[in-house]
Amino acid sequence: MQLDSPLIKCSTSEQISAHLDSLKKEENQALAEFNRGEFGAATSHYLRAAYIALGKSHKIPIEATRGGGGSQWQTYASLDAMSKLLLLRFYIGIGRCSLKMENLDEALMWLDEARCLVLSTRFALEIPLFEWIRYNLDLPDITKQIVTMLALTSDIFEMLGNTGTATDKRWNIGVESLDEQKHMTPEVQKIRNMGKLYELVSLRHPDPKLTATLKVEYPELQVLGSWKKVHVRKRGAMKPRLASASFIWNSKLYVGGGLGDSKGPLYRDLCCLDLNRLDTWRALPPYPASENMTGPWLCWNFVVYEDKAYLFTGQDKLDYFDLRTETWGSVMTSSLAKAAGSRHLVPLHTFKRSTQQLVGHHLYVFGGSHKTCAIGCNIFLQLDLKTMKWRKLSGYLKPGTAADYSCPGPRRNASSWVDPNEERIYLFGGECDRTAGEMTGELHTASSGYAYEDLWSWDIKNESWRLERLNGNVPCPRSEAACTYNRDLNKAVVFGGYNPAFATQFDSNFFPFAYFADTFIYCPDESAPTSHTAIAASNAPSFQSLRGKWKQVLTRGFPTYRAQSQLLTDPATGKMYLFGGYVNTDWVPSGKAGSSRTFCDVWQLSIDVPRGGFEDVDVFEEAKTAKVGPWHRCFGCGSAGRWKKCGGSCNGRAFFCDTECLQEGWRQHKRMHHCRKLT
């Protein structure tokens, strides 16, 4: 029995009845005010009801600096079922009122409060369940509130043009939330609205037919941006690839390793592009270590420290490329296996798909896969680049039978960045590849992978994890996204990625996965809204403590849908560049059949924020689409510009920005528009 529940604290049935009567009175008054269109007054009653349900000693929303960042709050975990049900109704009620007042920022905040409350149920379990196991109290009334919360949240994200997250919320209603027939009441089915789900599933994210009409209507949740394809005069030594590693140093973009497409070839080269001259990709000395010793160069990472680009491959020997002399070298570290807590992984050998950050003289490595854990792990390691000694900070080399809620779950291909004060390392998304590992008898395998939507941060000084709130216009769950932290903007930027279990249907094809081409920024210095309802409560919530907010970057054109691309910021100029990546050729039908379409294109991103490089963007020209005016959308890559129309029998139904896109997009254009070359 939970001891912190307000209802449990009532010692007699008369006290419980009086407590419930008080709550019912506030809720009825809230409903009456709502029906009269007095949404501010309705919000005040809902808020007072929430405080009565929680007790006078608590604040909502919880401050981000307490109790695990608000997504892990023991007070919520200890509530009885009735208190949770009541709070869900009140929070959703406030969300509805905020939506009616067109305050989408606040509506999302209160609906996320409801999500945190629902999430807290698993935190009270004796045997913790992993995130991919949907769990909640087996009560139809709570299911109804969860479905209502997800449907309302989906509608708001759709209003914002964030079709990916809108689809994800609806998908969770239609597929995962209702496991038993008793929960499927006619009212719940109506809220569920499968027709709306089918409508959203038919979209890509972003969908080309919608981007032309998007505009910034809610600046607290949206910002204008522009993707521009960078013209490199000669490709030189560069070849299209996926799973490569990259970095920028002295305004030069370095790219190494990777895979030509899903069938090969494997690369161990290193190339360099001068971002000021943009003349050609220059070949540098290839990686000298034998593939027999290191495994293939796939999804490794570079970190630059003291004019050396270090390449961690999972071995005790740490390789580096000297940027001054342009030569390769290596240095021995302490026993990685010993630090990680295993004597049987010497070396880890094929350790890849981790995410890494450099803070001061310390290299941090999180997650990834290795030869005994293909699905992904959550080991978190630190290497001192001065002493070359490894330390284990948290996590495990492979997931056990029960989850650990004190740290992020097992994953690979997560995104990460460091805040400007170097106080926290942020970790977003990633995938537990549950389709892998069957041959080696790993736990938790399944027919599809699981993409995370969570955001964690690591306190570097206190060495502890915090599960952050999903505040603002958040990206949908994804893995293999491109990510960079731009210190000039004080913002993290996330582009594209992949979800292995995100249903999509378009062009009469059904896909059980999705590739993305949407762009988001995470603003660590922005607060949640200061609620106009706060003054209505005697115990006013500390809204301003909920720092960190997501915004979607709305762009007219965009790079082709892709995963495993590289997004980097040039420290010298603050400019952001995207390179490479891949997409399934069924998703974008061009290139070699039955393989992956890989890219070696370079794009530059400008964002309409101070120092975002947006002053050179012609907003009015970019608003013109492929159907209107001199600007058109490239059929191959989706970018907007003054492109040339196809000269075949289609009479100009498609436009291409360059010969590379023409070659890569011709197969799809020919099939879609029945075009043929004219003699």
The predicted model gives 408-431 an average pLDDT of 96
Highest mean pLDDT among 50-54, 170-174, 466-470, 512-516: 512-516
Q: Which residues, other chains included, contact 404 with Cβ-Cβ below 8 Å and sequence gap of 6+? A: 128, 378, 395, 396
Contact 117, 61 (CB under 8 A): no
Dihedral, CA of residue 561, residue 567, residue 569 and residue 570, to nearest 10:
-100
Q: Is the peptide bond before 61 cis (omega within 30 degrees of 0)?
A: yes
CATH level 2 (architecture), domain 334-468: 6 Propeller (2.120)
CATH level 2 (architecture), domain 6-202: Alpha Horseshoe (1.25)
**In angstroms, how far is CA 225 from the centroid of its own chain?**
18
The predicted pLDDT at position 537 comes to 44
| pTM for the predicted model, two decimal places | 0.92
Q: How far lies 290's CA from each of 37, 214, 327, 349, in Å?
A: 71, 50, 16, 12
Asked if residue 656 has pLDDT above 90, the reply is no
The predicted pLDDT at position 324 comes to 98
Establish whether domains 6-202 and 334-468 are of one fold.
no
Higher pLDDT, 8 or 367: 367
Q: Hey, CA dihedral for 275, 276, 281, 285, is it positive or negative? A: negative
- pLDDT category of residue 539 using cuts at 50, 70 and 90: very low
With vertex at residue 546, the alpha carbon angle to CA 544 and CA 547, rounded to the nearest 5 degrees, is 95
Which region among 263-267, 311-315, 534-538 has the lowest average model confidence (pLDDT)? 534-538
The predicted model gives 626-635 an average pLDDT of 55
The predicted pLDDT at position 529 comes to 67
What distance, in Å, lies between the first and last C-alpha atoms of the chain? 81
Percent of the chain with pLDDT over 90: 64
Asked if residue 512 has pLDDT above 60, the reply is yes
- pLDDT category of residue 450 using cuts at 50, 70 and 90: very high
Over residues 349-359, the pLDDT tens digits come to 678 999 999 99
Domain ranges of the chain: 6-202, 334-468, 640-673
Higher pLDDT, 6 or 451: 451
- Across 203-225, b (16+ Cβ under 10 Å) vs e yields bbbbbbeebbebebebebbbbbb
Average predicted confidence (pLDDT) for the chain: 88
The amino acid that residue 326 corresponds to is E
The predicted model gives 543-567 an average pLDDT of 86
Contact 85, 142 (CB under 8 A): yes
The predicted pLDDT at position 593 comes to 62
The predicted model gives 92-103 an average pLDDT of 97
Of the CA atoms within 13 Å of residue 303, those in its CB half-sphere come to: 21
The predicted pLDDT at position 49 comes to 94
Q: Say whether 498 sits in a helix, a strand or coil.
A: strand
Cα separation, 223 vs 610, in Å, equals 12
